[in-house]
Amino acid sequence: MILIIGGEAQGKRTFASSLFDKEPIIADCSVCEPKDIMTADLIISYHELIKRYTDKAEEITEELCKNNPEAVITLNEIGCGIIPIEKREREYREAAGRSGCIIAERAKEVYRLFCGKATKIK
Amino acid sequence: MITLIAGGSKCGKSALAEKILSQYSGRKLYIAAMQPFGEGADEIIARHRLMRSGKGFETLELCKSFTPEAFPTDCAAMLEDIANLTANEMFTGETVREPFEHVMRDIKTAAERTNELIIVSNSVGCDGIPYPKETADYIRSIGRINAALAALSDNVIECVFGIPLVLKGIIPC
C-alpha cells in the first residue's frame, strides 16, 4: 500500500493520480461502501469512510490491508485540533488516528503532502 | 537529555515516549497530567494504564497541582501531556490565568531533577475551526509553549500516524 496524508486540499489526490500509468479504479470514500475499497486501485478521502463507519473503522481497515495490499490511499490529518466535546466527533478523530497508524505500519511508502509538495516519510 | 514528542490525536506519541522511557535502566517515572474529568477521560486513563502495566513505571498522577519540586531525583521521567498541564494551569483556578510561565517553570524544574525527561505534547492548532476567546488563547498558549519546549529540548519528534519525524536531534531509542 501507499498512504498519502496531509491537511485538506494540499494536493493529495493529484499526487496519488500521478502514481498510476493507467486510469485507476477509484473508490471515493464520501460515497462508497466498505466493499468498494477492497478492490479499488485508488481510495480517496479514507477519513470520510471512517466518519460514516466510526465504530467499525479499525476492523474495516484491517480488512482493507488484508484484501487490497496494492492500494493507494489518501487520508486527511484531522487530529491536530482541540478535542471535540461531542463524543461522536471525538471517536471519529480517534478512529481516524488509529486507522491511519494501522495503514502506515503496513504501507511500503507514506507521503505527506503540504502545498502540493510531497515529502516521503516512510 | 530532554526529548519533546508532539502530534495530534492517536498518532502514537505516547507509545513512542514509553518506548524511550522503557530503555532506561534506573528508576522510571510516568507523570500523568490527565484531568480525570470530562466524558471519556476515565476510558483514556484506563487505556493508558493498561499500556503502561508491566513496564516498571512508577505513576505520579498530577491533576490540579503539578509540583515537580516533589519529584524524586536521579530518575528518568515522561510527562503526559502539555495540553492537560496547560489546561490545569490555565482553567482550574478561580480565574483564567496566563499559563506560559507556570508551565515552563514546572518543566524546567522537572528537567533539573530528572536525568532524562520525555515530554509528550499536542498539536492543537490545525483544525481551522474558529473558537471562543478562551479556547483560542489556550491554543495559542500551547503553540507558544511547544516552541519554547522545542528550543529547550535536545530532541524534537513529531509523530504522524505512528511515524516519528525528527525535527531536532535524534530518536533516542
What's the mean pLDDT in A7-22?
A: 96
Q: Which residue type sits at B140?
A: R
Domains of chain B, with CATH numbers?
Answer: 2-168 (3.40.50.300)
pLDDT digits (tens, 9 = 90+) for B12-57: 999 999 999 999 999 999 998 876 566 677 777 777 777 777 788 9
pLDDT of residue B65: 59
Residue A113's φ and ψ, nearest 5 degrees, are -100, 135
B106 by DSSP, 3-state: which?
A: helix
When CB atoms are compared, the residue of B10, B138, B165 closest to A121 is B165
Residue A80: name the closest of B104, B9, B81, B79 by CA: B9
Give residues 38 to 97 of B whose Cβ lies within 8 Å of A.
39-40
Residue A107 near residue A98 (C-beta atoms within 8 A): no
Radius of gyration of chain A (CA): 13
What is the Cα–Cα distance from B83 to A74, expressed in whole angstroms?
28
DSSP string, chain A: -EEEEESTTSSHHHHHHTT-SSPPPEEETTT--HHHHTT-SEEE-HHHHHHHTGGGHHHHHHHHHHH-TT-EEEEE---SSPPPSSHHHHHHHHHHHHHHHHHHHH-SEEEEEETTEEEE--
Instruction: Name the grid cell of B20.
Output: 524511550
Q: What percent of chain B has pLDDT over 90?
A: 67
pLDDT of residue A10: 94
Would you give the distance in Å from CA A34 to the centre of its chain?
A: 13
Element (H, E) at B167: strand B163-168
Give the residue from chain B lying closest to A105, CA to CA: B162
Picking from A20-24, B60-64, B116-120, B146-150, which range would have the lowest pLDDT averaged per residue? Answer: B60-64
Sole residue written with cell 491554543: B139
Residue B15's φ and ψ, nearest 5 degrees, are -60, -40
What residues of chain A lie within 8 A of the CB of B139, using their CB?
A: 82
What is the Cα–Cα distance from A47 to A74, expressed in whole angstroms?
8
Q: Is the pLDDT assigned to residue B158 strictly greater than 90?
A: yes
pLDDT of residue B161: 97
Residue A100 contacts B where some CB pair is shorter than 8 Å: yes
Alpha carbon distances (Å) from B77 to B12, B89, B108, B111, B118: 18, 20, 13, 9, 6
B72 by DSSP, 3-state: which?
A: coil
Residue A46 near residue A73 (C-beta atoms within 8 A): yes
What residues of chain A lie within 8 A of the CB of B134, using their CB?
A: none
Confidence category of residue B1, pLDDT binned at 50, 70, 90: very high
Name residues whose C-beta falls within 8 Å of residue B152's C-beta, 6 or more positions apart in sequence.
B2, B107, B108, B111
Alpha helices by DSSP H, listed for B56-171, are 82-91, 100-113, 133-152
pLDDT digits (tens, 9 = 90+) for B91-128: 888 899 999 999 999 999 999 999 999 999 999 999 88
Residue A51's domain comprises 2-120
Tell me if B8 and A105 make a contact (CB, 8 A cut-off): no
Domain count, chain A: 1
Closest Cα in chain A, distance from residue B121 (Å): 11
Mean confidence (pLDDT) of chain A: 97
pLDDT of residue B41: 74
Q: Is the pLDDT assigned to residue B157 strictly greater than 80?
A: yes
What is the CATH classification number for the domain harbouring A107?
3.40.50.300
Q: Which residue type sits at A95?
A: A
Mean confidence (pLDDT) of chain B: 90
pLDDT of residue A57: 98
Q: Model ipTM?
A: 0.92
- Taking chain A, what is the end-to-end CA distance rounded to the nearest angstrom? 12
Confidence category of residue B59, pLDDT binned at 50, 70, 90: confident
